[in-house]
Copies of this chain bind each other. A is one copy, B any other.
Amino acid sequence: MPTLEEIRQAAAELEGRIHRTPMVESSALNQELGARLTLKAELFQKTGSFKVRGLLYKTLRLTPEEREHGVITVSAGNAAGALAWAARAAGVPATVVMAKTAVPAKIAAARAYGAQVELVDGDLMAAYESIRDERKLTGVHPFDDLDVITGHGSLGLELLADRPDIDTVLVGVGGGGLISGVALAVKLLKPTIRVIGIEPETADVVSRSLEAGEPLKLPTSKSVADGLAAPVCGTRNFPIIQQYVDQLVRVSEGAIVEATRLVMSRTKLALEPAAAAPFAALLEGKVQPHGLTAAVVSGGNLDVSKLVL
């Protein structure tokens, strides 16, 4: 498991390369949710989500030989843009394997950040592995990776640097990447803090994994919060979550939609549904507010064609 010293080292390497995102407060939102909230506005991060923290740190840690050959990932969309950006920031060539049916804007984003995009018709994983081996590229997993987890931990350090009085941290959960890094960082710094993960009811692989006592893979996983719809719990993330996360709760699709609109309306942040999971849990009474509660607004990569004016 990454140590606090390693997370601090990662944060120091990331400093100046990524944004130090602000904490935002809204008395209207506090009143509406009956909680004392401070929001980590990570939607203002480079590429619009926290993902660049871990992916850039990973890319910076490659050996000179790995850097020269370049990195590769396979993605439905969000990680593609983030890895493309991170690789360019680190001066490393990047290849991204995406389905031909991926959202065109996400394909365009990966290309705009300079990645070579390989569009695939059939089996994504087979194409990924064959390109990786053929071109001697280093595969980068978007969350099941200790360097990625360590990089994500930098967000936890910032939370407590800005607001040492935080009592509870709420984080949306997909495959477990962000929450494992954040939980590790904040618990090592302040063991009394409470960390709660929030999953969609329809994409609850980490909750199920904790119940089963081992990291699971679900046949499918789908949610309006597409950023949380990973069908697999990371094997490196799982033991960290077991040890450092106090509780996982599930929220309904309806609550995620309602929370997205509520937070947007009260804070004027254009958050994506995945980033609204913490607020959905408060709306549904799945989390009892206690003390100062930090909610991570993890990203803002909303499909704006869904704004029907």
Contact = CB atoms under 8 A, between A and B. Distances in A.
A269 B264 CA distance: 9
B269 A268 contact: yes
A304 to B, nearest CB: 4
Contacts of A306: 307-309
A205 interface: no
Given A306-B309, A308-B306, A264 B270 contact: yes
How many copies of this chain sit in the oligomeric assembly? 2
A300 interface: yes
A264 B307 CA distance: 10
Interface string A239-270: 00000000000000000110011101101111
A132 to B, nearest CB: 29
Interface in A125-176: none
Contacts of A267: 270
**Residue of A257, A270, A306 ringed by the most chain B CB atoms within 10 A:** A270
A160 to B, nearest CB: 23
Given A44-B268, A302-B264, A302-B265, A308 B309 contact: no
Given A264-B307, A268-B269, A273-B309, 11 more contacts: A48-B268, A260-B307, A261-B305, A261-B307, A264-B302, A265-B304, A267-B270, A268-B270, A270-B270, A306-B308, A307-B307
18 contacts: A43-B268, A224-B309, A256-B309, A260-B309, A261-B304, A261-B305, A261-B307, A264-B307, A265-B270, A265-B302, A268-B269, A268-B271, A268-B300, A269-B270, A270-B270, A306-B309, A307-B307, A308-B308
